[in-house]
Structure 1
Amino acid sequence: MATKSESATYTHGHHASVVRSHSWRTAQNSIAFLLPHLKPDMKILDIGCGPGTITVDVASYVPQGHITGLERAGSILTQARANADAKGVTNIDFVEGDANALSYADGTFDVVFCHQVLQHVGDPVGMLAEMKRVVKRGGIVAAREADYGVFVWYPELPGLKDWQDMYDRVARRNGGEPNAGRMLHAWARKAGFGDVRCSCTMWCYASEEDVKWWSESWVERAVASSFATTAVEHGLATKEDLEGISKAWREWGEDQDAWISIPSAEILCFKE
């Protein structure tokens, strides 16, 4: 088993605005590419489960099986457990741990997956290799990662381009790779997978409700989350810069034609 620990810093942190955003995620809107491959009796590991909304959903696909949500930031697991309890889900548990050094024996799980995690780690290839270690032969390692360099929005406000550029600088300062999506399949092959199947889907926010939700999230995150703290502490932005970005997200959200697409690459890796 590996002994290394995570070297990168999680860019978003766990400010309330971030957790609200992540709690919107479900199995259906985030890992639909994996769902057809699940069987009722599978044992599954969800890496970087956060508030557990995806994890809890996946539990319903394995009623005779079990799913474990693993999260490095143990504080968020209180909410994850509450989510499971509220829905009466019992074939689930949540544990604190570092996916660079999983405490499980080789071949423990039928499926190991992560969603929007590898972009935030210092050694994504090493983490994929560790995920491969704990999955059974014939099992699946799956991942889905956004690519911040190809987010597209309308109207094309200058302040949002400033946000995109600043996010890239902050994420790289933290040791991550914000354009992970385009590299995901290559990382998997470097981790030792021969059978890597690729796809790409996107979130698209265009309705008044969705635009308002995304806009309000970043209005707050731009000035109050770990993203903002890192930007200021490391001289990547001033508070005035961040306030300008927050204002741009508000302006975008108030435009009746506002629209944004967020593409993510997906991989299914089959262990031979």
Structure 2
Amino acid sequence: MSTVIPNSKAASTSSSSVYASNHDAATLRTHEWRTVANSAAYLIPYLKPDMKILDVGCGPGSITIDLARYVPDGYVIGVEYASKPLTAARLLAEKKQVTNVQFAVADALDLKEYADNTFDVVHAHQVLQHVPDPVRALREMRRVVRPGGLLALRESATMGWYPRLKGLDQWYDIYRKVGKGLGGNPDPGSYIHVWAQEAGFGREDITCSAGTWCFSAPDERKWWSDIWAERVLAASYVEKAEQGGYCTREDLSRIASTWKAWGEDKDGWFTITHGEIICRK
């Protein structure tokens, strides 16, 4: 049985994102790796086949399309502030023959395309850290969730690595400074439940958990190190880092080399801890 997905109103949003990476090729490859299993497993127990889901900040759509498989009698709409990654998302859905999914441009701070109380679940993965007003975004997400529905959020909280290379320490320092300088909130996973309360959820309506990514096997290290060696030299990131006065291109070139060296270390380990919350409206 085919699923009819309601069309959103025509969107003409201007970007409210403060995203440092600007959807460069390496960043999109990072995001395409994400699935429900490795990035939203905490949500799986709550999913039902007929749910209507909004995936905010969907990027190239890998989680969005995966969510659609969990709701075969429902549908998922993935939204992103820019159209650039949505081309890849639509192509991926076509390739995987997932038809109960749709992608559209929409602003997390003003989801005006969608009416109050529309969705059973609103989901966002590593989005709030790139939004200048995360509490306002949460209020908008809460608005479009139906009474009794869920808001599911996951944000990075901490990063750790071995060996403790000076270049990676410098990378993390610059990463945080660039994010904060643009108006973002790097690694907010340990306090997203506080934002949720400010957005109108009661503390008793919020369930907290934590999840991790770990890159340590040889193929994992190579993939992660190659991605980051490329990401730190992406033109948009270099421009923002230099204009902010946080480093030079030469600094970033040395950091890229350090990422390569870490990837070649047989004892290399990199982990990201995420804060996760399920909020019931």
Task: Classify the TM-score, shorter chain.
Answer: over 0.9
Structure-2 separation of matches of 1:8 and 1:89: 28
Alignment of 1:3-152 (within 5 A): 7-102=16-111, 103-147=113-157, 150-152=158-160
State the SS of the aligned residue for 1:60: helix
Residue pair 1:215, 1:253 contacting (<8 A) in 2 also: yes
User: Cα RMSD between the aligned structures?
Assistant: 1.4
- One-letter identity of the residue aligned with 2:124: C
Q: Aligned-pair distance for 1:8?
A: 4.2
Q: Deviations over 1:78-98 (max 9, x none)?
A: 100000000111111000110
Q: State the match for 1:177 in structure 2.
A: 185
Query: Which blocks of at least 5 consecutive residues in structure 1 are unaligned?
Result: none
The TM-score normalised by the length of structure 1 is 0.95
Structure-1 separation of matches of 2:88 and 2:239: 24
State the SS of the aligned residue for 1:50: coil
Query: Which blocks of at least 5 consecutive residues in structure 2 are unaligned?
Result: 1-11
The TM-score normalised by the length of structure 2 is 0.92
- One-letter identity of the residue aligned with 1:260: F
Q: State the match for 1:227 in structure 2.
A: 237
After the TM superposition, which segments of 4 or more aligned residues of structure 1 sit over 6 Å from their partners?
Answer: none
- Give the aligned length: 267
Q: Aligned-pair distance for 1:158?
A: 0.5
Q: Deviations over 1:246-272 (max 9, x none)?
A: 11101111111001110110000000x
Q: State the match for 1:160 in structure 2.
A: 168
Residue pair 2:16, 2:81 contacting (<8 A) in 1 also: no
- One-letter identity of the residue aligned with 1:134: V
Aligned equivalent of 1:207, options 198, 208, 217: 217
Q: Aligned-pair distance for 1:234?
A: 2.3
Aligned equivalent of 2:254, options 236, 244, 248: 244
Residue pair 1:181, 1:265 contacting (<8 A) in 2 also: yes
Identical columns (%): 51
Residue pair 1:70, 1:94 contacting (<8 A) in 2 also: yes
Structure 1 residues 78 and 90, CA gap change in structure 2 (3 angstroms): same
Q: Deviations over 1:106-130 (max 9, x none)?
A: 1000000100000000111111110
- One-letter identity of the residue aligned with 1:244: R
Q: Aligned-pair distance for 1:6?
A: 5.2
Structure 1 residues 40 and 133, CA gap change in structure 2 (3 angstroms): same
Structure-1 separation of matches of 2:115 and 2:14: 18
Residue pair 1:18, 1:225 contacting (<8 A) in 2 also: no
Structure-2 separation of matches of 1:106 and 1:6: 22
State the SS of the aligned residue for 1:151: strand
State the SS of the aligned residue for 2:197: helix
Alignment of 1:254-265 (within 5 A): 254-265=264-275
